[in-house]
Structure 1
Amino acid sequence: MREEIFSLVEQGKYIEARNKMAGLKVVDIAQLFEEIDQKKLLIIFRILPKDLSSDVFTHMSRELQRYVVESMTDQEAMSIIDDLFMDDVIDFLEEMPSNVVKKILKNTNEKTRLLINQFLRYPADSAGSIMTIEYIDLKKEMTVGQAVQYIKANGHDKETINTCYVINSRRILEGVISLGTIVLNDDATIIRDIMDSDVLAINTHDDQEEVANLFKKYDYYVMPVVDTENRLVGIITVDDVLDVIDQESTEDIQKMAAMQPSEKEYLKTGNWVLAKHRIPWLLILMLSAIFTGGIIKRYENALQSVIILASFIPMLMDTGGNSGSQSSTLVIRGLALGELQPGDIWKVLWKE
């Protein structure tokens, strides 16, 4: 299928290529776009069905998203942005240069612009920066019948309707209720009587790594986000958490290798940037090697008298380096998973 689509694109048969793509998953289409010439890609993207093009856009790389938006008219760009969930819009804008952000903001309505600016003010790795505002909230005074009608009327463009949150007149979070609980009760039943008031919420300024740990600990697929006054402002879904876990795991692995973490892909990171991330630790390790050389020099006479001892030096140095790598991997991963705490340092040193 991929080769056939590539062949159609090369021949300029864009309509046929689009029809072939329509049968693929949006993630697969986004991956195909990464391999197609950008000018031809833009033609195909423009003739994709509107709802499909928006879904594909969310799965494109940031570089490709930027190219598409910069190459489109303001009206075309906004037709895509308007169909995205708010968390996807924020993820996109956070990675874009100021000219692209201005292009988007100047064409949005005042309400949307205020929401975007509010999201962009949250700290970079906080719960507020990854939450979405597309959720279902119910009033505790509603009956089940009213709740069902409300969900039917407003649930089409929400990230999830399986979990609904119950608020009061001041938007204070008071409970949570599943769609299954709602539909299994009589229409006259009051939501307050069947909701679960023991609801665990995340603060907008909580670190995203802490959020991921909460999802893992409690096996949730969605959690509410509240402000400092416990007012419901958004939700975080498990798909957002998976992105966080991927990002944090990559950061941990880079730290294990004595490198400064980088958010860009390896092939899309410049040589100077890569060097800047790696040189500091390489210099530190080089200094430690100088001390090692000094120790060897101190025993120079012994090595000259018993030459066979010199053959053990590479073995001992390699074994020391390997055991150090094993220890750092175990400890850093343990810290990342919460299995180790800074106070465990003496236990770790004893074991190692």
Structure 2
Amino acid sequence: MFNKDQIFQLLESRDGEALRALWQGRGAVDIAALLDSVEDGARQAAVFRTLPKDLAADVFSYLPGPTQATLARSFADGELQQIFDALHLDDAADFLEELPANLVTRILRSASPQRRMAVNALLRYPADSAGSVMTPEFVSLRPGDTVRQALDTIRRTGIHKETVYTCYVLEHRQLLGVVSAKDLLTAAEDAAVADLMVTDVVSVGTLTDREEAARLLAKYDLLALPVLDGEERMVGIVTVDDAMDVLTEAAAEDLSIMAAVTPDEKPYFAASAWEHARHRVVWLLILMLSAAITGSIITRYEDAISAVPLLVAFLPMLMDTGGNCGSQSATLVIRGLALEEIRPRDALRVIRKELAVAAIVSAVLAAANGLRIYLQYHDSAIALVISLSLAATVVLAKLVGCMLPIAAKQLHMDPAIMASPLITTIVDAGAVLIYFQAAAALLRLPV
């Protein structure tokens, strides 16, 4: 672990040799975490400038976007160019996306035309596409190469590539196959690459959804996934570390949506109270206004409530149980859709499964509550009303909870939108309507 006080003391004493020794053998991820924990921007820049040049770019690529922007503002043009040129192209593109326009102009003005064109090409892809997260830096081999020639190519160019563990065999930029570094290292030096390569290659297009690309990487246990353009030419790879970032970001976004919060890319403390409120208040307003439907249903049954005031005491239990049952089904279905265990065409199978679950759950809950109410109030009619209403509410909640996410997926919407808050609001209204209708019918109450 790093001692920040020790580092600051070495900075103040300008002991460069001790600082270089401190960084030696340390991982870029840990150093990035240390830098991110320094709140003073001037001190961040001072610590960063003590890093060896070959380590600085790696550390910079692991820093969060806001910290990268803070450091970039403190750099001179020469320092900016040095960092920008040392970054892998996909990291350089991500870096530019986080910066204000004036800083982007400064960086691109000092970059070489070739690098500027390469980064701009990545930035032109849609944000949710595989092209936006790919890197064009990969090892390419020719089918006629021998293993000796292939290893020479890796030694000569590998230092500038994102990964050397998987190499791609190309002819006229067309992907013919892949060969692993392990296969090359364990084969005879005069063996042909064409004889070692695997031709059944999983690939995606530049416009393929990036979450789909990440899922393919996980499904086939790949370290990298080739990306082809519209003319079937290989233009880049999506690496497993970038895929993990995509899936993590998607999971965080789904969690926000499921909690009725508009997703925000900023870290919690980086966003102001106003921004947090803005991302939450819209959904809260929608849910609050939709809850007015439940209130209007209750108002409609004022006469029934006046006749049997005890009915009101069971409303919270009924509504909470319905909301919980709906949330359980929705969560499992949303997870199944995300993992592709469930597809929209499986809707009828899901409904049958949830109806079977609802039958079991409703029977247990209805029996338990009916018995409790009878023992507590000695009123078999009330116990029957609650039991039947609870059973019907559970069935309704399970159906709503499983059907809405599938409907959203079918309409090309995020299934997470149909999560707990929305389902609870719908089920609450249905539960109240079922409850008072049952009470009016069985207890012969005025409606």
**TM-score computed with the length of structure 1 as normaliser:** 0.92
Moved more, 243-252 or 275-284: 275-284
Q: Distance in 2 between matches of 1:111 and 1:149?
A: 25
Shift of 1:233: 1.1
Match of 2:185 in 1: 183
Match of 2:4 in 1: 5
Shift of 1:138: 0.5
Q: Pairwise mapping of residues 1-352 of structure 1 onto structure 2 (< 5 A)? A: 1-2=1-2, 4-9=3-8, 12-13=12-13, 15=15, 16=18, 19-36=21-38, 37-168=40-171, 170-350=172-352, 351=354, 352=398
Shift of 1:54: 1.3
Does the CA contact (< 8 Å) of 1:90 and 1:116 recur in 2?
A: yes
Q: Secondary structure at the match of 2:226?
A: strand
Q: Secondary structure at the match of 1:82?
A: helix
Return the letter of the residue paired with 1:6.
D
Does the CA contact (< 8 Å) of 2:166 and 2:223 recur in 1?
A: no
Match of 2:443 in 1: none
Q: Secondary structure at the match of 2:56?
A: helix
Aligned residues: 350
Higher helix share: 2
Does the CA contact (< 8 Å) of 2:213 and 2:225 recur in 1?
A: no
Does the CA contact (< 8 Å) of 2:130 and 2:207 recur in 1?
A: yes
Does the CA contact (< 8 Å) of 1:222 and 1:237 recur in 2?
A: yes
Shift of 1:279: 2.6
Q: CA RMSD in A?
A: 2.0
Q: Distance in 1 between matches of 2:340 and 2:110?
A: 44
Q: Distance in 2 between matches of 1:129 and 1:8?
A: 37
Larger gyration radius, structure 1 or structure 2: 2
Specify whether residues 342 and 259 from structure 1 end up closer, same or farther in structure 2 by C-alpha distance, changes over 3 A only.
farther
Shift of 1:287: 2.5
Does the CA contact (< 8 Å) of 1:14 and 1:44 recur in 2?
A: no
Q: Secondary structure at the match of 2:320?
A: helix
Percent of paired sites with the same residue: 45
**TM-score computed with the length of structure 2 as normaliser:** 0.74
Specify whether residues 345 and 281 from structure 1 end up closer, same or farther in structure 2 by C-alpha distance, changes over 3 A only.
farther
Shift of 1:190: 2.0
Does the CA contact (< 8 Å) of 1:200 and 1:224 recur in 2?
A: yes
Unaligned regions of 5+ residues in structure 1, if any? none
Specify whether residues 9 and 261 from structure 1 end up closer, same or farther in structure 2 by C-alpha distance, changes over 3 A only.
same
Q: Distance in 1 between matches of 2:307 and 2:28?
A: 70
Q: Secondary structure at the match of 2:260?
A: coil
Q: Secondary structure at the match of 1:302?
A: helix
**Alpha-carbon displacement from aligned partner over 1:271-329 (angstroms, at most 9, x marks no partner):** 33333332332223223321211222222233233332222122222222222332332
Specify whether residues 177 and 7 from structure 1 end up closer, same or farther in structure 2 by C-alpha distance, changes over 3 A only.
closer
Shift of 1:50: 1.0
